[in-house]
Amino acid sequence: MDKLLDILCDIRDDVDFDTCDDLIDGKILTSFDIIQILAALDDEYDIAIPATEIIPENFNSAQAIYDLVQRLKG
């Protein structure tokens, strides 16, 4: 989880990923940020995230992204 937080903070250092739980619904992340996150997850964990998983619920918080990564890795 710490590694994921580092990755996220490197993409947007103005967002508090520790506590924020409406990253998408609150329009905090743009589609461009999501692209950056997808690319970083691919680099770091070697996972390609299918389009059907790119929905607000999976990206609203660092925890949700973490869960998604765990699920796809497994």
Partner 1 sequence: MINVTEMLYKTALRFPDNKAFKDPDKSISFKELYDIAKRTAFVFLEGSVCESLKQGSPVAFYMEKSVDAVCVMFGAVFAGGFYSFIDVRQPVKRALDVLDILRPSVIVTDSENTEAAHELISGYNGSAALINIEDLLNRAYNADYRDDIIKKAESGYYDLMPLYVNFTSGSTGKPKGVAVSHRSVIDFIEVFTKTFGIDENDILANQAPFDFDVSVKDIYSALYTGAQVLLIPRDYFSNPSVLMDYLTDNKVTSLTWAVSALCFVSIMNGLEYKAPLTVKRVMFSGEVMPVKQLNKWKRYLPDATYVNLYGPTEITCNCSYHILDREYERDGDIPAGIPFENEKVFLLDENDTEVTGSGKEGEICVSGTCVALGYYRDEERTAAVFTQNPLNKCYAERIYRTGDIGKYDENGLLLYVSRKDFQIKHMGQRIELGEIEASVASIDGVSRACCIYEEKKKRIVLFYTGDADKDEVRDGLAKRLPQFMMPGKTIHLEEFPLNKNGKIDRNVLIDTI
Binding site for partner 1 (CB under 8 A): 10-14, 24, 27, 29-32, 34-36, 38-39, 48-52, 54-56
Alpha-carbon span 70 to 74, nearest angstrom: 6
Q: Quick one: 5 or 38, whose CB is closer to partner 1? A: 38
> What is the smallest separation between the CB atom of 31 and partner 1, expressed in angstroms?
4
CB 66 within 8 A of CB 28: no
Q: Quick one: 13 or 46, whose CB is closer to partner 1? A: 13
Alpha-carbon span 12 to 51, nearest angstrom: 22
